Amino acid sequence: MDEQNAVTTPVENTEQPEQKAEEQKPEAPKKPDPEVEKLKAALSRANGEAAEYKRQLREKQTEAERAEAEREESDKAMREELETLRKEKRIGEHTNQALALGFDADLASKTANAMVDGDMDAVFDCLRAFVDATKTRLENEALNRQPTLSAGTPPTKGNVEDELTAQLRRYAGLSSHR
């Protein structure tokens, strides 16, 4: 080691440049230095551990991304279910209001669905059907309230007078025939 650490003096520089270049070249160690081998092994282990940590980080990121995707999917399903429940609630409310107005159950349901879906043509068709059904019902009720008509001859002045006389005779307790 003293030879390697020796300082050259100007007196020794009298050698030729070719010899000088040969001496300045470090000689390759013939056998590996155990210290260098230990450092190389430690560096290799550190690189391996770093690669393993990077792989684990990528896996965790993937798991985190998967968890985020699952959370988003769950949120989406929850929002869809909430929207469905809100729609069903609106349909139920509209159906009840239509039933309160006198709609039959099928027409009330059809009208409520059309209202919630925003299909105004269907809403007006349902309203038209309700109005027609109501008109028909009222006409039938009016006919049912009328007094019974005779199936015989149409009333004339003579027939009406005879009927009135017969009613008076019955009222007085007399026979309806003359």
Q: CA 6: distance to chain centroid?
A: 84
- Amino acid letter, residue 99: L
Does the reported pTM lie above 0.75?
A: no
Has residue 132 been placed in a domain? yes
- The confidence score (pLDDT) of residue 145 equals 80
Has residue 170 been placed in a domain? no
Has residue 156 been placed in a domain? no
* CA 56/CA 154 separation, integer angstroms: 105
The total domain count for the chain is 1
Local structure of residue 30 (DSSP, 8 states): S
Has residue 7 been placed in a domain? no
* CA 55/CA 47 separation, integer angstroms: 12
If one counts every other C-beta atom within 10 angstroms of the C-beta of residue 115, the result is 20
- State the residue range of the domain holding 61: 35-142
Has residue 147 been placed in a domain? no
pLDDT tens-digit readout, 1-26? 444 444 454 445 555 555 555 555 55
CA distances from 44 to 48, 56, 88, 109 (A): 6, 18, 65, 75
Has residue 63 been placed in a domain? yes
pLDDT tens-digit readout, 109-167? 999 999 999 999 999 999 999 999 999 999 888 888 876 655 666 666 677 788 888 88
Report which of 168, 166, 161 is spatially closest to residue 178, judged by C-alpha positions: 166
